[in-house]
């Protein structure tokens, strides 16, 4: 704890000295989320992080999250320096969708509109017609379906499948998954619901269909946080990364939150629902973020220009 306090003070001083702002994702260590808030940065989902970074006057953005979030921030604000505590923090969805293979897949289906999730590399975004986050995936696909378009969706098959069920659109899925959400189990969730019959069940749509089917609310991180505030329930079972409890508990101090089971017994496993890549962001590498020489995000300008087109479509759609 003494060392933690020392790190925190050091990070605060460094942010000031370098005219930098810290933006953290909801899934990072609660200590890092608290530090982002204390220092005038923000805690948010991937899109809000990039938006905040763009609007903030600081010339350097410190992105505590995973690599695609740093890339998205850089694409939106190429004139700023974007640093991350470690570039090794990636994502199973990004890893599972290499740009060359994805591009071939798109070439095989030229009649389809390409919609990709934000959790992808800059190169995959550059190949897409649309980029979406989980908060607007359904609305965008519904809009395209109304126009008679057929969809090619990547990379998360569970989210794509959910969007297909909700909209009835013709959706061809890439075979990718999030290693965190994929582990939630419907059997265990039923057992936990029996144990806490008053609890509302909040589920992120990267979870498998049988888990989504048990939800009271299905939504993105921001939408689930909003549901925790707005529902009258005092108790919740939450199927997403447990990092989100920092914000839920902060906004709803009197409510109780249980992490959804990742095993059939109904037992909750505190170390399970926690993204290993998000967890690579720690105070130690944050404190050395200005000293490392291999942690700046670079996106090829031509690739960034191409990726900005579907990203801008998403930003304009939301307005």
105 three-state secondary structure: helix
Check whether 155 is labelled as a binding-site residue: no
Mask for 22-51, x = binds ligand SF4 (CB under 6 A): -----x------------------------
* Cβ-proximal residue to ligand CIZ, closest one: 45
* Helix H or strand E segment including 55: helix 46-55
Contact 257, 248 (CB under 8 A): yes
- Exactly one of 32, 41, 45, 84 binds ligand CIZ (CB under 6 A); that residue is 45
Distance CA(217)–CA(52), nearest Å, equals: 26
Extract the runs of DSSP E, i.e. beta strands, from the chain: 20-25, 42-44, 60-64, 81-83, 112-117, 130-132, 150-154, 171-173, 200-203, 217-218, 235-239, 256-259
Q: Which is nearer to ligand SF4, 145 or 206 (CB)?
A: 206
Check whether 158 is labelled as a binding-site residue: no
Q: Which is nearer to ligand SF4, 58 or 180 (CB)?
A: 180
- Exactly one of 133, 233, 262, 285 binds ligand CIZ (CB under 6 A); that residue is 133
Q: Does 92 bind ligand SF4 (CB under 6 A)?
A: yes
- Exactly one of 167, 221, 262, 285 binds ligand CIZ (CB under 6 A); that residue is 221
Q: Within 50-89, which residues bind ligand SF4 (CB under 6 A)?
A: 66
Q: Does 277 bind ligand SF4 (CB under 6 A)?
A: yes
Distance CA(307)–CA(104), nearest Å, equals: 17
* Helix H or strand E segment including 286: helix 283-287
Q: Which does 92 bind (CB under 5 to 8 A by kind): ligand CIZ, ligand SF4, none?
A: ligand SF4
Q: Within 199-218, which residues bind ligand SF4 (CB under 6 A)?
A: 206
Query: How many amino acids of this chain bind ligand SF4 (CB under 6 A)?
Result: 14
Q: Cβ contacts of residue 297 below 8 Å, gap of 6+?
A: 63, 67, 70, 71, 73, 74, 82, 83, 84, 87
**Least distance from ligand CIZ to the Cβ atom of residue 27, Å:** 6
Q: Within 89-118, which residues bind ligand CIZ (CB under 6 A)?
A: 118
Q: Does 180 bind ligand SF4 (CB under 6 A)?
A: yes
Distance CA(91)–CA(81), nearest Å, equals: 22
Q: Which is nearer to ligand SF4, 240 or 295 (CB)?
A: 240
Q: Does 93 bind ligand SF4 (CB under 6 A)?
A: yes
44 three-state secondary structure: strand
**Least distance from ligand CIZ to the Cβ atom of residue 237, Å:** 18
Q: Which is nearer to ligand CIZ, 86 or 133 (CB)?
A: 133
User: 122: exposed, middle or buried (C-beta count within 10 Å: 0-12, 13-18, 19+)?
Assistant: buried
Q: Which is nearer to ligand SF4, 15 or 202 (CB)?
A: 202
Q: Which residues of 256-287 are buried (b: 16+ CB within 10 A; e: fewer)?
A: ebbbbbbeeebebbeebbbbebbebbbbebbb
Distance CA(4)–CA(282), nearest Å, equals: 10
Of the candidate spans 52-60, 71-79, 127-135, 176-184, the one that interacts with ligand SF4 by CB under 6 A turns out to be 176-184
Query: How many amino acids of this chain bind ligand CIZ (CB under 6 A)?
Result: 9
Site residues, ligand CIZ (CB under 6 A): 45-46, 118-119, 133-134, 178, 206, 221
Site residues, ligand SF4 (CB under 6 A): 27, 66, 91-93, 119, 178-180, 206, 241, 275, 277-278
């Amino acid at each position: 704890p003494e060392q933690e306090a020392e790190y925190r003070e050091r990070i605060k001083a460094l942010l000031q000295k370098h005219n930098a702002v810290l933006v953290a994702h909801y899934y990072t260590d609660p200590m890092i989320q608290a530090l982002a808030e204390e220092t005038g940065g923000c805690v948010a989902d991937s899109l809000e992080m990039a938006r905040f970074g763009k609007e903030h006057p600081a010339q350097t953005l410190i992105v505590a999250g995973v690599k695609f979030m740093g890339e998205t921030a850089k694409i939106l604000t190429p004139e700023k320096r974007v640093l991350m505590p470690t570039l090794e923090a990636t994502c199973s969805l990004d890893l599972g969708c290499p740009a060359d293979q994805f591009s071939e897949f798109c070439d095989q289906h030229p009649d389809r509109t390409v919609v990709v999730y934000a959790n992808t590399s800059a190169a995959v975004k550059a190949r897409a017609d649309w980029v979406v986050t989980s908060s607007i995936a359904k609305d965008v696909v519904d809009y395209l379906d109304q126009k008679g378009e057929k969809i090619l969706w990547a990379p998360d098959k569970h989210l794509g499948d959910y969007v297909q069920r909700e909209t009835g659109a013709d959706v061809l899925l890439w075979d990718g998954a999030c290693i965190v959400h994929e582990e939630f189990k419907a059997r265990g969730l039923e057992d936990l619901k029996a144990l806490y019959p008053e609890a509302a069940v909040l589920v992120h749509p990267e979870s498998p269909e049988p888990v989504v089917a048990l939800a009271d609310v299905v939504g993105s991180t921001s939408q689930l946080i909003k549901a925790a505030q707005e529902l009258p329930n005092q108790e919740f079972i939450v199927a997403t990364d447990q990092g989100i409890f920092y914000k839920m508990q902060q906004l709803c101090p009197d409510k109780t939150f249980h992490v959804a089971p990742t095993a059939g017994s109904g037992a909750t496993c505190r170390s399970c629902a926690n993204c290993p890549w998000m967890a690579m962001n720690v105070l130690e590498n944050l404190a050395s973020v200005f000293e490392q020489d291999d942690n700046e995000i670079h996106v090829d300008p031509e690739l960034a220009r191409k990726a900005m087109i579907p990203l801008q479509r998403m930003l304009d759609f939301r307005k």
